[in-house]
Amino acid sequence: MGNPWDCIVVGAGAAGLSAALVLGRARQRTLVVDAGGQSNRDAHGIGGLLGHDGRPPAEFYAAGRDELAAYPTVELRSGQVLRGERHDEGFVLELADGSRELARRVLLATGMDYRFPGLPGIVERWGRSVFHCPFCHGWEVRDKPLGVLDRGVTGVHRALLLRVWSDDVTLLADGPAELDAEDLERLREAGVTVDERRVEGLRGPDSRLTAVAFADGGERPCGGLLVPVTLHQRSALAEQLGAAATAPGPLAVDALEVDPMFRTSVPGLSAAGDLTVQAPSVANAVAAGNTAAAMLVGGLMNEARGLTPS
Ligand SMILES: Cc1cc2nc3c(=O)[nH]c(=O)nc-3n(C[C@H](O)[C@H](O)[C@H](O)COP(=O)(O)OP(=O)(O)OC[C@H]3O[C@@H](n4cnc5c(N)ncnc54)[C@H](O)[C@@H]3O)c2cc1C
């Protein structure tokens, strides 16, 4: 296994790249392993990231990787971490190429799997005309007729929110809406239409959306569709290493528990980015990676100087 790394960062999305930059600048021997599956890679651009607003995700990640090249203690490896276990000196991670790497600290920045409804037509429009976050994509579809796919009370909130971006918003209940009279009145007052017809699919060329198609053969013009998602861990890695998850939240089903310094329940194991949050965004992931890495450097220094490790 050779010399232990000071830190292995698993995942090179916004959180992992941001952490690796801090670790590299602090001259820590750092291995970054990444499977190349950042969650927003299909999106037209990154909405709402200061300094990079609207920038295509692939370009943003390439720029992050280029910046890391300036720091000789950082090695970036394409691949997947398959398994992990605790070790006297820290952690051992096993990569898909069969190599085993020892590290004093591990930072999990593996992101989350976004699961959306299985409606035909979503996959090819995902992150473009079909989206889960109006703050990320609402601007691009502003003033178009917009739809919210959701039958229950969460749909009410999301439909009212979407009115920020368009006067023409329809709540697509895909069957009988499960709403009380008060909610229906709120929607009516805000000018939101409720359509209870069964939704069958989406219409429009390539990744664009022009209409929602119903099972009764009808269609409704629609230029942007907000859909519900749930976020799930992508692998059993955190569990293998012993990290505790939080109770299921409104968005993330099994986010990891971390303290304000992004330390998990396992000493020496930190986590940052989507893996730990209920409010995912690139900006939050960058900030979390930055803080987590600075705290890791502090902890390694404490250990080296015989202070209480953290
Ligand atoms: C379609 C879509 C559009 C979005 N648009 C926006 C937007 O416009 N603005 C915004 O602020 N936010 C947006 N978001 C949210 C934002 O993309 C995420 O909050 C952010 O990218 C999370 O960063 P991360 O580093 O935690 O995870 P990710 O970016 O998902 O990166 C995790 C990386 O870890 C790798 N990985 C996972 N497991 C392993 C393993 N075992 N071994 C090796 N590598 C592994 C993955 O392959 C991936 O490359 C969007 C999300 C989606 C799904």
Same domain, 9 and 109: yes
Same domain, 108 and 243: yes
Query: Can you tell me the distance from the alpha carbon of 117 to that of 125, in angstroms, rounded to the nearest whole number?
Result: 13
Cα end-to-end span (Å), the chain: 24
Tens digit of each residue's pLDDT (9 = 90 or more) over 105-163: 999 999 999 999 999 999 999 999 999 999 999 999 999 999 999 988 889 999 999 99
Nearest to 178 by CA among 198, 161, 154, 158: 154
> Residue 305's pLDDT band (boundaries 50, 70, 90)?
confident
Instruction: Determine the pLDDT at residue 294.
Output: 98
H helices within the chain, ranges in order? 14-25, 57-68, 134-137, 153-162, 181-189, 237-241, 282-304
Instruction: Determine the pLDDT at residue 66.
Output: 98
At 309, list the tokens.
Answer: 């490790």
Residue 309 lies in a domain: no
Same domain, 208 and 238: no
How many CA atoms does the CB half-sphere of 181 hold within 13 Å? 0
> Residue 310's pLDDT band (boundaries 50, 70, 90)?
low
Same domain, 203 and 290: no
Same domain, 104 and 28: yes
Same domain, 15 and 97: yes
Task: Tell me, in angstroms, the distance from the centre of ligand 1 to residue 222's CA.
Answer: 27
The CATH number linked to 130 is 3.50.50.60
Provide the mean pLDDT of the chain.
96
* Residue from 55, 110, 240 whose mutation best tests the ligand 1 pocket (most atoms within 8 A of CB): 110
Which range marks the domain in which residue 126 is found?
117-226
Same domain, 108 and 121: no
Question: CB-based burial of residue 50 (10 Å sphere; 0-12 exposed, 13-18 middle, 19+ buried)?
Answer: exposed
Nearest to 105 by CA among 118, 89, 121, 129: 89
Instruction: Determine the pLDDT at residue 307.
Output: 81
Instruction: Determine the pLDDT at residue 151.
Output: 83
pLDDT value at 308 more than 80: no
Tens digit of each residue's pLDDT (9 = 90 or more) over 175-213: 999 899 999 999 999 999 999 999 999 999 999 999 999
Residue 293 lies in a domain: yes
- Whose C-alpha lies nearest to ligand 1, atom 23? 14
Task: Tell me, in angstroms, the distance from the centre of ligand 1 to residue 35's CA.
Answer: 11
In whole angstroms, what separates CA 225 from the centre of its chain?
A: 19
3-state DSSP assignment of residue 177: coil
Same domain, 10 and 89: yes
> Residue 309's pLDDT band (boundaries 50, 70, 90)?
low
Q: Number of folded domains in the chain?
A: 2
- Whose C-alpha lies nearest to ligand 1, atom 13? 281
Tens digit of each residue's pLDDT (9 = 90 or more) over 10-61: 999 999 999 999 999 999 999 999 999 999 999 999 999 999 999 999 999 9
Instruction: Determine the pLDDT at residue 37.
Output: 97
Instruction: Determine the pLDDT at residue 103.
Output: 98
Same domain, 122 and 174: yes
Under 8 Å between Cβ of 50 and 28? no
Q: What is the pTM of this model?
A: 0.96
Better-predicted residue by pLDDT, 165 or 151 = 165
Same domain, 98 and 122: no
